[in-house]
Every structure is written in structure tokens, then in C-alpha cells.
């Protein structure tokens, strides 16, 4: 077997790909060198999943990688029609981000319930001002996205006594169908978006959603920015039609310093970091290398994405 | 049976004590009127548990209430030697604060792990700055105080994957003894104080404790302020010998606006509110009235404090 070529796309590739480098030629590419390298690649590791470069450089019908792995849960930036219809196998980083993101969402929910932000503001002003806050146990959450991340969020919130409805594309045991979402919204204290970005979900969190939420309810997005119509969320917050929101992902990332979102009242902004705990890069590199060893051994790959659905199907 | 007298001490007494008012004469007292009212009281409801007035006004060997109920978990402000040795029964608000405080501590722990405070600061500066944060699952917590509140904190943290050691006065199944605390501290990521304030615990969190903690570990106090030697904690934080702290209770409450604690680096200050969720006053009033009905019926009271220990003993 001739030496295979593994192309790594990204400007901060993992330092340690020793297990791959022992067996293959590893080429690290940026946006400029990717188009030339891609036709000769057997395997493509998409380390920088925030760029459209892979989609733009995809060789179409020409020679192309047999396997693409992305160091992310979402595959929305990759899926051009030519990749979807090709026989190239696509895998993702399922397993790395679930627990950290679930912890992050649980933390956001408690922080909002207990008004930590208000307490921090009062501390800055050196003001002792007792308030009554919200009891979390017994509140209701709707988690949209019934994949591994949504399920981990469900588990974390439920363990704190929150009553959770998990909403997926279609109803199945333990999962409500997307058509049930409108009737679930009016009783939810928390609406959490952990859905994949697909043609079906783009812009789904718009005015019609926020209008159905309670005036005290909070919205959290840890999925992808374009799932949310930011101007509709902004309008709902400015008019106090909902109680607050936290966004970890945005239509345009990084958010520009002059973006009006920074100052929207009741909106907590974090820079797409909900899943990124210390050691995550090593974890991602290990996961790819484990799968690479399967590939070399002719074993089935883990975390194969259904390219038409846009995610790894789970039961 | 002649009409009994129920004295309520506090400047914001509960509005609804209907079930008591139907059967007894209810006298609401402040610090000035309490000494005169106390000898004639059959029952004393200590609504304001932050004052020393009851201790100061306690009639000693003279006529005194047969039953004192405090609308708090801690009884430290009440326990004068004359009350301890008297036959007066003391009950507390066990059952009201456990779940809210456990949620609050879980929220503090996640907020610190995920650096929400840093993210808020960056948002104020309109800066997109991705960081790696801490994975909560698998971290270790030491919770000092094995009463109902400490146990609820244990349960909440454990449900998020934190490995918890619960430390009580004496070792028993599921509880480490206080003598084991020094050896537990060096591996703890979180040290949480939920102990009662007694002669044995006053000032227990001093330099010897902070010196044994990891430089990344965080300290949280939701018990009582005097459990902590504030100057020792301040020194540990200023020298970055520990990773951070959150205090909900203080040696002197309310904290004066010129108290240097407000500005200690890495210290989150909240105004003694960790257990106070919306409806807590109604919950406290209901709890007292339920116990009052038991008292009238000659049934055993709930939540009887062991006055020598200073808390309600649990298994």
C-alpha cells in the first residue's frame, strides 16, 4: 500500500498527530494552498471548521478525499451539494463537546435564575442589595435539537430538577416532534437551541418563536448562529417581550467590535466557546487519530454523518 | 385553654399568619418592644434572624416562651447560654433553603469553571476573546457541613459529575470526619462551606485551610460569615494562593460600602441571598404555621434543634 496523504486544513493545527504522521504524508494547508492539495488527499482533517474554504475548494467530480473528518459537531460549513452526493465519507467530533456544552448551558440557566449578572453589577457599585431569585427546580425547559448535545443538556438540566421537553425533527420515544414546538413554548421558562444548522433549521428562531415565549422566559443558543434571526431576537429583548438571552454563536463570527448585539439589554454574549474546555484540542486530535487507525485497518469509521440530514443520526 | 400569645420579632413580619391569628394573640415586636413582650409570650417567632435582639432580651430564669421558632436554618444568633439550658424548645426552618442554596452553589461552581465573569467583562469591552474553560465533570469538591444544606449541595454537584467529599463533625457512612479535612483539601477544586456556626466552627476557614488548597481551587461560603477569617481569605486571594472565592455571608452584614472586601480580586460577593427564592417568605410563614398547629394539638414539633450542638441532628 502506497503512502497515503492526509491534508490538515487550519491555521492552528494540532501539534501532535504522531500516530498519523507515522503512516502518512501530512500536509498542513491554509485557504490558499488547500485547492491545490485537495485532489491529491486521501483524507482531509478539517481543523478549522469556521471557514468556507473547504466548500469553496471542493473538487466536485474530480479526484477528492475518500474521507473527510471535521473537528466540530456541526458540519454546516462543509456540506456543498458535490460533497453530499459524492461517495466521500464524512465524520464529525461527536463525543467531545456534549458534556462541556451541557455544563455551560446548565451554568447559564442557573446564572440567569439567580441573577449573578445583577449581583456582579451591584458588587462593582459596592451596593448590598438583597433580592429574591428564582428556584430552578420545577421550572420548564424546551431543548431544541435531540442529538447528543441536546440530550446531554436535557440530562444536566433534569438532574437539577428542571422539567425538560426535548424537541427533534420528528417525534419518537422521549423526543417531541418539531411540529409540537409552538404549543410547548408558552409554558417554557428556558428555550435552548442545540440544533444542527440545515436548510430546514436556518432562521427557525424568529419572531414567531419569541412571540410565543413567556415574558420571563430566557433563550439560549449554543447551536449555530444562523439558526436565529438576530434582529428578531434583538427586537424581543429591547421590547422586553422575553426575559433575557445568551448567545454563544452568531450569524457572523467573530462578532465585530461595533456590532450592536454587544449592547442589547438582557443579552449575554460569549465567543463560541461553550464546548471548548482545557484539553479539547488534544481530545479532538486523539479522536481523529483513533478513527484514522480504523480507516487504515479497514474498520468502520465512527461518527459517520448522514450528509443529507446534516448530522449523525441517533436513536 | 386561655388564649396564647405569639410574639413575632422582626420589622418585616409575614403578612399572612391567619392560621395563628385565628387562635392566638399575635404581637409584632421590634428591638425596643421585645424585652417587655417576651416574658408574656408562649411562642416566639424569630422572623428577623440577623439580629442579636432576642439573645439580648432573653428573660433568663424568668417567665419565657415555651417554644421559639426561627425563620432560618442557622440558630447562631439566638443561642445564649440561658436559652440552651432552659426547657424552651427551639425549631428552625429546615426544608426551605436546601434546594435553593444547592442550586446557587452549583451555579457559582459552573460560573467559575466557565469564567462567565470574565466573559461579562469582555462583553462590556465589546471584545471577542475565545478562551478554553474548565470541564466540571471529574473535578473534586469538599463540602464542609453534612446537614441538609450540605447534603443538597453534594447531590447537586454530584449530578453534574463532580466528585464530592462531604465533611461533618464526626465520620459516619457517607460523611468524612472533620479530622480528615486537611488531607482532603490538596486535591479539591472546590471547597464549599455550608457548616453551622458554633463555638467549634467559628473561624475554622483560616490561613491553614487556604494554604492547603490548590492554587487553582475556589472557596465558597454559604454558611455564616464568622466561619471564615476574612483577612486570611483576602490575603490568599491577593497573593493568588487560591484561584477564587465567592462569599454570600459575612462577618458584618450588610457589608458597608467602604468595606475593602468589595474589591478583593477574584472574590464574588452576594448579599446573603443564596437561599432566598421567590416565595420564600410565604414558605417560611407556612412552615411556622404548620408547626404551630402541631403545637396547639400537642403533637411533636418538627425541626427541633439540638441546642447544645447548634443544629438539627440528621443521620
Q: Interface pTM (ipTM) of the complex?
A: 0.93
Residue A314 DSSP SS3: coil
Q: What is the pTM of this model?
A: 0.93
Shortest distance between the Cα of B127 and any Cα of chain A, in A, equals 6
Average pLDDT score, chain B: 95
Name the DSSP letter for residue A45: E
State whether A111 and B111 contact (CB < 8 Å): yes
Among partner residues B114, B132, B263, which is closest to A107 by beta-carbon distance? B114
Q: What would the mean pLDDT of A47-61 be, rounded to a whole number?
A: 91
Q: Are A143 and A25 within one domain?
A: no
Residues on chain B touching A131 (C-beta within 8 angstroms): 273, 276
B302 inside domain = no
Task: Kindly state whether B95 is in contact with chain A, defined as any CB-CB distance less than 8 angstroms.
Answer: no
Q: Are B105 and B223 within one domain?
A: yes
Tens-place pLDDT, residues A89-148? 999 999 999 999 999 999 999 999 999 999 999 999 999 999 999 999 999 999 999 999
Contacts A–B by Cβ distance under 8 A: 155
Among partner residues A133, A137, A159, which is closest to B160 by beta-carbon distance? A159
Among partner residues B120, B127, B137, which is closest to A103 by beta-carbon distance? B137
What angle separates helix B116-124 from helix A116-124, to the nearest 10 degrees?
A: 60
Q: Cell digits for B30?
A: 421590634
Q: Are A283 and A142 within one domain?
A: no
Q: Are B103 and B217 within one domain?
A: yes
Residues on chain B touching A269 (C-beta within 8 angstroms): 119, 123
Q: Are B64 and B194 within one domain?
A: no
Q: Cell digits for B62?
A: 424568668
Task: Kindly state whether A103 is in contact with chain B, defined as any CB-CB distance less than 8 angstroms.
Answer: yes
State whether B114 and A104 contact (CB < 8 Å): yes
Residues on chain B touching A136 (C-beta within 8 angstroms): 103
Q: Which of residues 244 through 283 in chain B touch A, CB cutoff 8 A?
A: 253-255, 257-259, 262-263, 268-274, 276-280
Q: What would the mean pLDDT of A277-287 be, rounded to a whole number?
A: 93
Side-chain-side CA neighbours of A69 within 13 Å: the count stands at 23
Give yes or no for a contact between A108 and A220, defined as CB atoms under 8 angstroms apart: yes
Report the distance separating Cα B205 and Cα B215, nearest Å.
Answer: 16
Tens-place pLDDT, residues A189-223? 999 999 999 999 999 999 999 999 999 999 999 99
State whether A268 and B120 contact (CB < 8 Å): yes
Report the distance separating Cα A217 and Cα A238, nearest Å.
Answer: 14
State whether B136 and A257 contact (CB < 8 Å): no
Positions of A marked active-site: 224, 253, 272
Q: Are B158 and B169 within one domain?
A: yes
State whether B130 and A268 contact (CB < 8 Å): no
Look up the domain containing A251 and give its range.
97-269
Tens-place pLDDT, residues B219-272? 999 999 999 999 999 999 999 999 999 999 999 999 999 999 999 999 999 999
Give yes or no for a contact between A165 and A141, defined as CB atoms under 8 angstroms apart: yes
pLDDT of A315 = 63
pLDDT of B315 = 63
Catalytic residue selected from B135, B202, B240, B253: B253
- Residue B36: C-alpha distances to residues B30, B39, B47, B50, B64 (Å): 11, 7, 18, 20, 11
Residue A119 DSSP SS3: helix
Q: Cell digits for A32?
A: 490558499
State whether A130 and B280 contact (CB < 8 Å): no
A147 inside domain = yes
Give yes or no for a contact between A30 and A11, defined as CB atoms under 8 angstroms apart: yes
Report the distance separating Cα B44 and Cα A133, nearest Å.
Answer: 28
Residue A31 DSSP SS3: coil
Q: What would the mean pLDDT of B118-147 be, rounded to a whole number?
A: 97
Q: Which of residues 222 through 241 in chain A touch B, CB cutoff 8 A?
A: none
Q: Are A112 and A69 within one domain?
A: no
Q: Interior CA angle at A214 toward A211 and A218, to 5°?
A: 95
Among partner residues B117, B126, B253, which is closest to A262 by beta-carbon distance? B126
Strand partners, B6: B26, B43
Q: Are B126 and B245 within one domain?
A: yes
Task: Kindly state whether B161 is in contact with chain A, defined as any CB-CB distance less than 8 angstroms.
Answer: yes
A315 inside domain = no
Shortest distance between the Cα of A14 and any Cα of chain B, in A, equals 15
Among partner residues A113, A122, A262, which is closest to B123 by beta-carbon distance? A262
B129 inside domain = yes
Tens-place pLDDT, residues A218-267? 999 999 999 999 999 999 999 999 999 999 999 999 999 999 999 999 99
Q: Are A118 and A250 within one domain?
A: yes
B16 inside domain = yes
Q: Assess whether pLDDT exceeds 70 at residue B118.
A: yes
Shortest distance between the Cα of A315 and any Cα of chain B, in A, equals 24
Give the closest residue to A74 by CA, choosing from A238, A253, A208, A232.
Answer: A253
Q: How confident is residue B2, by pLDDT bands cut at 50, 70 and 90?
A: low
State whether A128 and B104 contact (CB < 8 Å): no
Q: What is the count of structural domains for chain B?
A: 2
Tens-place pLDDT, residues A289-308? 999 999 999 999 999 999 99
Instruction: List the single range of A120-124, B116-120, B277-281 with lowest mean pLDDT.
Output: B277-281
Name the DSSP letter for residue A241: S
Q: Cell digits for B193?
A: 462551606
Q: Are B76 and B165 within one domain?
A: no
Q: Assess whether pLDDT exceeds 80 at residue B188.
A: yes
Give the chain A residue nearest B118 (alpha carbons): A270
3-state secondary structure chain B: CCCEEEEEECCCCCCCCHHHHCCEEEEEECCCCHHHHHHHCCEEEECCCCCCHHHHHCCCCCCCCCEEEECCCCCCCCCCHHHHHCCCEEECCCCCCHHHHHHHHHHHHHHHHCCHHHHHHHHHCCCCCCCCECCCCCCEEEEECCCHHHHHHHHHHHHCCCEEEEEECCCECCEEEHHHHHHHHHHCCEEEECCCCCCCCCCCECHHHHHHCCCCCEEEECCCHHHECHHHHHHHHHCCCCCEEEECCCCCCCCCCCCHHHHCCCEEECCCCCCCECCHHHHHHHHHHHHHHHHHCCCCCCCECECCCCECCCC
Give the chain A residue nearest B136 (alpha carbons): A103
Q: Assess whether pLDDT exceeds 70 at residue B314.
A: yes
Task: Kindly state whether B100 is in contact with chain A, defined as any CB-CB distance less than 8 angstroms.
Answer: yes
pLDDT of B76 = 92
Residues on chain A touching B111 (C-beta within 8 angstroms): 107, 110-111, 116
A311 inside domain = no
Residue A8 DSSP SS3: strand
Q: Are A175 and A123 within one domain?
A: yes
Domain with B78 in it: what CATH number? Answer: 3.40.50.720
Q: Which residues contact residue B32 at a Cβ distance below 8 angstroms, ignoring those fewer than 6 apart?
A: none
pLDDT of B291 = 97
Among partner residues A99, A159, A277, which is closest to B159 by beta-carbon distance? A159
Q: How confident is residue A2, by pLDDT bands cut at 50, 70 and 90?
A: low
Q: Assess whether pLDDT exceeds 70 at residue A39.
A: yes
Residue A208 DSSP SS3: helix
Report strand pairing: A176-177 vs A163-168: parallel
- Residue A217: C-alpha distances to residues A95, A160, B74, B179 (Å): 30, 18, 33, 46
Give the chain A residue nearest B158 (alpha carbons): A159
Report the distance separating Cα A130 and Cα B206, nearest Å.
Answer: 27
Give yes or no for a contact between A261 and A234, defined as CB atoms under 8 angstroms apart: yes
Q: Which of residues 118 through 137 in chain A touch B, CB cutoff 8 A?
A: 119-120, 122-123, 126-137
Q: Assess whether pLDDT exceeds 80 at residue A1.
A: no
Q: Are A120 and A246 within one domain?
A: yes
Report the distance separating Cα B8 and Cα B182, nearest Å.
Answer: 43
Active site residue B252: no
Q: Which of residues 6 through 65 in chain A touch B, CB cutoff 8 A?
A: none
Give the closest residue to B103 by CA, choosing from A9, A20, A157.
Answer: A157
- Residue B294: C-alpha distances to residues A223, B3, B20, B91, B298 (Å): 53, 16, 11, 12, 6
Q: Cell digits for A12?
A: 492552528
Report the distance separating Cα B53 and Cα B11, nearest Å.
Answer: 12
For cell 485551610, name the residue: B209
Report the distance separating Cα A273 and Cα A252, nearest Å.
Answer: 15
pLDDT of A14 = 73
- Residue B120: C-alpha distances to residues A47, B54, B288 (Å): 28, 43, 41
Q: Cell digits for B2?
A: 386561655
A302 inside domain = no
Q: Can you state the percent helix, strand and coil of chain A, rounding each to 5?
A: 35, 20, 45
Q: Which residues contact residue A27 at a Cβ distance below 8 angstroms, ignoring those fewer than 6 apart?
A: A5, A6, A7, A8, A37, A41
Q: Cell digits for B217?
A: 481551587
B229 inside domain = yes
Report the distance separating Cα A17 and Cα A45, nearest Å.
Answer: 11
Question: Residue A44 phi/psi, 5° resolution?
Answer: -120, 125
Four-point Cα dihedral B177, B183, B186, B188, nearest 10: -30
* Helices within chain A (DSSP H only): 18-21, 34-37, 53-57, 81-85, 98-113, 116-124, 148-159, 181-184, 207-212, 230-238, 280-296
Question: For testing the chain A interface, which of B133, B155, B247, B258 should be mutated: the one with the most A CBs within 10 Å?
Answer: B133
Amino acid at each position: 500500500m502506497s503512502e497515503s496523504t492526509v491534508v490538515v486544513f487550519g491555521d492552528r493545527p494540532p501539534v501532535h498527530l504522531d500516530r498519523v504522521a507515522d503512516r502518512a504524508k501530512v500536509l498542513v494547508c491554509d485557504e490558499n494552498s488547500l485547492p491545490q492539495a485537495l485532489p491529491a488527499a486521501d483524507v482531509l482533517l478539517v481543523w478549522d471548521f469556521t471557514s468556507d474554504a473547504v466548500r469553496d475548494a471542493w473538487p466536485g467530480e474530480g479526484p477528492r478525499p475518500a474521507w473527510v473528518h471535521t473537528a466540530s459537531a456541526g458540519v454546516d460549513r462543509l456540506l456543498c451539494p458535490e460533497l453530499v452526493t459524492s461517495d466521500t465519507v464524512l465524520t464529525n467530533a461527536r463525543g467531545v463537546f456534549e458534556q462541556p456544552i451541557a455544563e455551560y448551558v446548565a451554568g447559564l440557566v442557573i446564572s440567569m435564575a439567580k441573577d449573578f449578572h445583577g449581583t456582579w453589577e451591584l458588587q462593582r457599585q459596592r451596593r448590598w442589595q438583597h433580592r429574591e431569585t428564582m428556584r430552578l427546580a420545577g421550572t420548564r425547559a424546551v431543548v431544541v435539537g435531540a442529538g447528543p448535545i441536546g440530550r446531554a443538556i436535557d440530562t444536566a438540566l433534569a438532574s437539577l430538577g428542571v422539567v425538560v421537553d426535548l424537541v427533534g425533527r420528528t417525534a419518537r420515544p422521549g423526543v417531541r416532534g418539531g411540529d409540537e414546538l409552538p404549543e410547548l413554548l408558552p409554558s417554557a421558562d428556558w428555550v435552548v437551541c442545540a440544533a444542527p444548522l440545515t436548510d430546514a433549521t436556518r432562521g427557525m428562531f424568529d419572531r414567531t418563536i419569541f412571540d410565543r415565549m413567556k415574558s420571563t422566559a430566557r433563550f439560549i443558543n449554543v447551536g449555530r448562529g444562523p439558526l436565529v434571526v438576530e434582529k428578531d431576537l434583538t427586537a424581543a429583548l429591547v421590547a422586553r417581550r422575553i426575559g433575557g438571552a445568551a448567545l454563544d454563536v452568531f450569524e457572523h463570527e467573530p462578532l465585530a467590535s461595533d456590532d450592536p448585539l454587544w449592547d442589547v439589554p438582557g443579552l449575554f454574549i460569549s465567543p463560541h466557546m461553550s464546548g471548548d474546555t482545557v484539553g479539547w484540542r488534544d481530545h479532538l486530535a486523539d479522536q481523529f487519530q483513533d478513527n484514522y487507525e480504523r480507516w487504515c485497518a479497514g474498520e468502520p469509521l465512527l461518527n459517520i454523518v448522514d450528509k443529507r440530514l446534516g448530522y449523525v443520526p441517533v436513536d
